[in-house]
A and B are shown apart, each in its own frame.
Chain A
Amino acid sequence: MSPPHTGQFFARVLCRQLLLVMRRPIEMGNPLLFFAMVIVLFPLGLGPAPDKLANFAPGLLWITALLSNLLTSDAVFRSDFDDGSLEQLMLAPQPLFLSSLSYILAHWLTTGFLLALVSPVFALMLNLPISALGTLILSLLLGTAVLSLLGGIGAALTVGLKRGGMLISLLILPFYMPVLIFGAAAVQAAVTGTPPGPYLAILGAMLSLAIALAPLAIATGLRISLDA
């Protein structure tokens, strides 16, 4: 049997990852549930006045999406590291950065992508103007993909450590900050009626850069963790 060529290999790893999540749907639901619950916290903490909430809504939605992504990033490689699947992937003739990219893509499809799709519901609960919903979805789609790629770097570096959970937040939150700035700014611009295009373009540029470079860093990180 000839080994699968690069494209097939990428698709197979992706399918495997998605299948694993499908078998335990609760793992897909948890980040969304977390997102919903944190959104409920804001009216409780800040007071339910609709205009005040609408004022803060772009930032609140983005911060919540970011935290939900942060909490799931830790688990991207963990189970496959524990059962040895990662070592098999490292031995495969196909490059490790390619399989890292399909791990990240699967992670994004099951967290950030879904979150962006359901975000309008929560945006309306926070009284965000309907005119800004399109920008919110678009900025979350672009932004959470960057977050997943960056989170993957942190996850790869800490996967071998017993207590990686807190550490990964310290490592990758500084890298999340620029994404938060431009993501929230895009939604804010849409709320005030100025064109959000430039902010979305910067998010897109970040995504292009991250797709090109992050898989290499993730692969190096995984090698280090597997050697240790």
Chain B
Amino acid sequence: MWTFFHKLGSPPWLYAIAGAILRWLVPITLIALISGTVWGLLFTSPDFRQGNSYRIIYIHVPAAVVALAGYYVMAIAGAISLIWRMKMADVVMKAAAPVGAALTFIALLTGAIWGKPTWGTWWVWDARITSMLILLFLYLGVVALYESFDNKEAAGKACAVLSLVGMVNIPIVYKSVDWWYSLHQPASIKFTGESTIDSSMLYPLLLMIAAFYALFTCCLLMNMRAELLQRESRTQWVKRIADEKGRG
């Protein structure tokens, strides 16, 4: 147990294990994404009120769910880095921020595209939409703060504080549709009680949510590997990898 914990602090080990996971995870992610998209777009029946436009749910909901979960990943990594001073937690946090920002942007964009035919407008200042926009700003703030420090160790800690303070926003995003009952509909999938979505639509949606989690993990690991190489660019193990790539 403890050796595993110590190994987590070693950049070459983390680099190698992330590579090994990616070798399996990338094909699985691709298969899940493609089959989920095909299932959702071609083999489910159209909604009785929204027709075919509802199908964007298969991108919109998974992106939004994982965007919020991604913030937790970032903030928890930040807390670990502040409390136990694990430098690798900084790497996780730094890698999570741009992926989370991209997913938040996708959720907002697909929401706008769906909103035009359904609500008749690209954008409304609804509580959930506004709080998702704030989430995007929080992610971008973390990226901007990290980039403006020259000392990357201090940058990691500063971003950790910022992302922990930003955690306040996440429950507000989750609960916004219940607290302010406005245009955005409440969640259709419930873990307790009856879901308000038909099971023929639910299963491809669940597959897509799983696929987006896997996609997030893939992007996170790839970003982490890049960040590790950049941080450790003066060490032997990076030089060895660079030599191998150069010869191969």
Contact = CB atoms under 8 A, between A and B. Distances in A.
A203 interface: no
Contact of B162 (A171, A178, A227, A228): A171
Contacts of B69: none
Given A161-B148, A174-B134, A174-B166, A224 B141 contact: no
Nearest to B135: A174
A101 B158 CA distance: 19
Contact of B161 (A177, A220, A227, A228): A220
Nearest to A173: B137
A220 B169 contact: no
A141 interface: no
Q: Is the interface of B mostly helix, strand, loop or mixed?
A: helix
A220 B82 CA distance: 9
A227 B169 CA distance: 29
Interface size class of A (residues with CB under 8 A): 20 to 34
A158 B151 CA distance: 13
B141 A221 contact: no
Contact of A221 (B149, B151, B158, B172): B158
B148 A167 contact: yes
A96 B228 CA distance: 34
A225 interface: yes
B161 A174 contact: no
24 contacts: A153-B161, A153-B165, A157-B158, A157-B162, A158-B148, A161-B149, A163-B148, A167-B145, A167-B148, A170-B144, A171-B144, A171-B145, A173-B137, A174-B134, A174-B166, A175-B165, A177-B130, A178-B172, A217-B161, A217-B164, A224-B154, A224-B161, A225-B158, A228-B153
Interface of B: 82, 130, 134, 137-138, 140-141, 144-145, 148-149, 151, 153-154, 157-158, 161-162, 164-166, 168-169, 172
A84 B199 CA distance: 64
A158 to B, nearest CB: 8
Nearest to A214: B165
Contacts of B145: 157-158, 167, 171
Interface in A104-130: none
Contacts of A170: 137, 140-141, 144
A218 B34 CA distance: 46
